Amino acid sequence: SQTIHQWPATLVQPVGSPLSLECTVEGTSNPNLYWYRQAAGRGLQLLFYSVGIGQISSEVPQNLSASRPQDRQFILSSKKLLLSDSGFYLCAWSVQGFSNQPQHFGDGTRLSIL
């Protein structure tokens, strides 16, 4: 069966520090991968999605970047964190296909910027 791992679960970082969040998927090949951010009590904002190694689509201009160095690995990064980067970051995967497929989310990372 497929599983998605996301770490760390919580993170407290000072303003101006770098960030690296990692997400890996097991049990499937060539998945679509997604990064979302959820502000407290709010909806899901799509940040990036990827349909293959090295292929990244950015949805909103921001202080973050994403990379997909391997088929089942998706990394969210920042060189210098801002206060506004605080939130709940969720990674998700879905099967690639000819129609939208259900997304399966990781447990998320709660990021607090001080």
Out of 17, 77, 84, 96, which residue is the one contacting other proteins (CB under 8 A)? 96
- Cβ neighbours around 7 below 10 Å, total: 14
Asked if residue 7 binds other proteins (CB under 8 A), the reply is: no
Cα dihedral 40→107→90→5 (10° resolution): 160
Q: How far is CA 109 from the centre of its chain?
A: 9
Question: Residue 41 interacts with other proteins (CB under 8 A)?
Answer: yes
3 binds other proteins (CB under 8 A): no
Residue 74 contacts other proteins per CB under 8 A: no
Q: How many CB atoms within 10 Å of residue 102?
A: 8
Q: What residue ranges bind other proteins (CB under 8 A)?
A: 32, 36, 41-44, 46, 49, 51, 57, 90, 94, 96-108
